[in-house]
Amino acid sequence: MNQHTPGPWNNHPMVKGPHIAKIIDDSGNVPNIATIHNAAGCGEANARLIAAAPEMLAALRDVCEQPICNICHQQPGTLPGCWDRAAAAIDKATGVTE
């Protein structure tokens, strides 16, 4: 399975051209992770969300390692609670599912 570019990623606004921002990693090893268009006026919000992806994935992994969810008080696989949604999001982010 392919790995994503390690975070943290940063949102760098662009002032010229059709793009509103580009996402780059802090290490400088990958010059451009994503270029964001201002589709339907949502470009800035999309750029922030994409830049936060590595941290959100790490946080979800931490949540899923806990024996009991502190929010819905369920164990993994019991009800379609936040734990199962977090696991599904991890699977989608890591390419296990689409």
Question: By three-state DSSP, how is residue 25 classified?
Answer: strand
Report pLDDT for 1.
Answer: 46
From residue 54, how far is each of 26, 57, 72, 77 by CA, in Å? 12, 5, 24, 24
Number of domains in the chain: 2
What is the chain's length? 98
Structural domain harbouring 89: 52-98
Q: Are residues 47 and 58 in the same domain?
A: no
The residues that bridge with 10 in the sheet, in sequence order, are 24
Q: Are residues 43 and 70 in the same domain?
A: no
Q: Are residues 2 and 45 in the same domain?
A: yes
Q: Are residues 42 and 66 in the same domain?
A: no
Q: Are residues 31 and 58 in the same domain?
A: no
Whether pTM > 0.85 for this model: the answer is: no
Residues of the chain with pLDDT under 70: 1, 69-81, 98
Q: Are residues 42 and 83 in the same domain?
A: no
